[in-house]
Amino acid sequence: MLIFHYLLSFIIFSSNGQVVSGCPRKTICLGHSTSRVSQSQGDSVSSILKDAYEQFCGSEYIEDNIVIRTGSGLVDISQPLVEANFSFLYYVKEISGYLELNNIPSIERLSLPRLRLIRGRNLRSGRYSLLVSGRIETLHMPSLTEISRGDVMLGSSSLNSYLCNTRSINWTDIAPFPVSGHQFSRTDGCNDLDIIDCNALGCSSGFCWCNDTDCCQTLSFNCNCHNNSRCFRDGPNIQCCDSQCVAGCSGNGDTFCRACKNVLDDGVCRERCPEQYIIDPFARTVIPNPLFKLEAKPLCVYSCPGISQY
C-alpha cells in the first residue's frame, strides 16, 4: 500500500510513540486570512500538505485560520495518508479563527493533540469554527475543551464508518454557542461496535476521544457559573473558573487558566498588557512603566516575537 513519505524526514517520535514535529518552534503564526479566503496551495495532496507544513510547523498560536482543503481532481487523492503527514499541527494550542480540514483522503488517525481552544473570531461561511470532512477513521483532539463561537460540522465523504469516535464527544460542552446548530453528516454508517463505550473505560463524564483511559473528555461548561464561565472539579465540589479564563481551568484564580480570555502575562491571565506609561503618585506626573509589554495576542511580550508570516 502506497503512503506519502515526503514529510517523514522531518518527523521524530516521542518516548510514548506519539508523532512529534521536528521543525523549529514558533510562538505565533499568521494563518490563512478570511479576507483573502486563502488556504494551503498545491496541485496535489502532497504539495498542499507540504505548503501547510512550511507555514504552520512548530507554531503554537495561530492568528486567523487553518485551511487545508483537497479536491477530487488531485492526482494523488486516492493514496492513503498516515498520522505523520499532519505532524506539523502537533504544537498548535490555539486558533483565533476557524479550523477547516476538508475532503481529507484516507487516514487512520488525524491528530491535533495539543489544540485546546478555537476562538471563532472568524467563521467559515459566517458560521463554522470547526469543519472536518473526509475519509478519516479517527479525529483525535483530546485537549480541545472550548470552541468559543460558531458551529461544528463533521462529515464523511462516504457512507462508510468514518469519524465514528466523534459521536462519543459532548460537542455541546465544547461549543455551547452555535450560530445555526452543529452538523454531523454522513456518520450514520457508524454502528454500535464503531462507537466507543466511554463508560467502560471509566470516564466519569461518559464521553471520550478514543478507546483509552487517557482519552476521557472533561466537561467544564454546564456548571451554572456566572458570565458563562467554565468550571473545574475540586474533589466532590465543582467551582467556577476565574473570569479571565477560557477553555477551563485547574484551580481558583487567574494563574490556573487553560487559556486566557484576553492576554497571558508571565503566567497570569489579564485583561490587558502593562501599559507604556503610568502615573507616579508622588510626583503626580506620567512616567515610563518599567513593566511595559507589547501585546501580541494572546501574549504580553517585551519585544515582538518571531511571527511566522506566509
pLDDT, tens digit (0-9, with 9 covering 90-100), for 221-277: 988 888 788 999 888 889 999 999 999 999 999 999 999 999 999 999 999 999 999
Q: In the chain, which residues fall in CATH 2.10.220.10?
A: 226-301
pLDDT at 235: 82
Q: Is 8 helix (H, G, I), strand (E, B) or coil?
A: helix
Residue 6 or residue 148, greater confidence: 148
**pLDDT tier at 158, thresholds 50, 70, 90:** low
Q: Is 10 helix (H, G, I), strand (E, B) or coil?
A: helix
Strands 237-240 and 231-234: antiparallel
Residue 153, pLDDT > 70, answer yes
CATH superfamily ID and name for 8-215: Receptor L-domain (3.80.20.20)
Rounded distance between C-alpha atoms, residue 174 and residue 115, angstroms: 12
Rounded distance between C-alpha atoms, residue 234 and residue 229, angstroms: 16
Q: Which residues contact 1 (CB under 8 A, 6 or more apart)?
A: 80
DSSP 114: T
Rounded distance between C-alpha atoms, residue 125 and residue 67, angstroms: 13
pTM comes to 0.89
- The CATH number corresponding to 226-301 among 2.10.220.10, 2.60.120.20, 2.60.40.10, 1.10.220.110 equals 2.10.220.10
CA of residue 116 relative to chain centroid, distance? 5
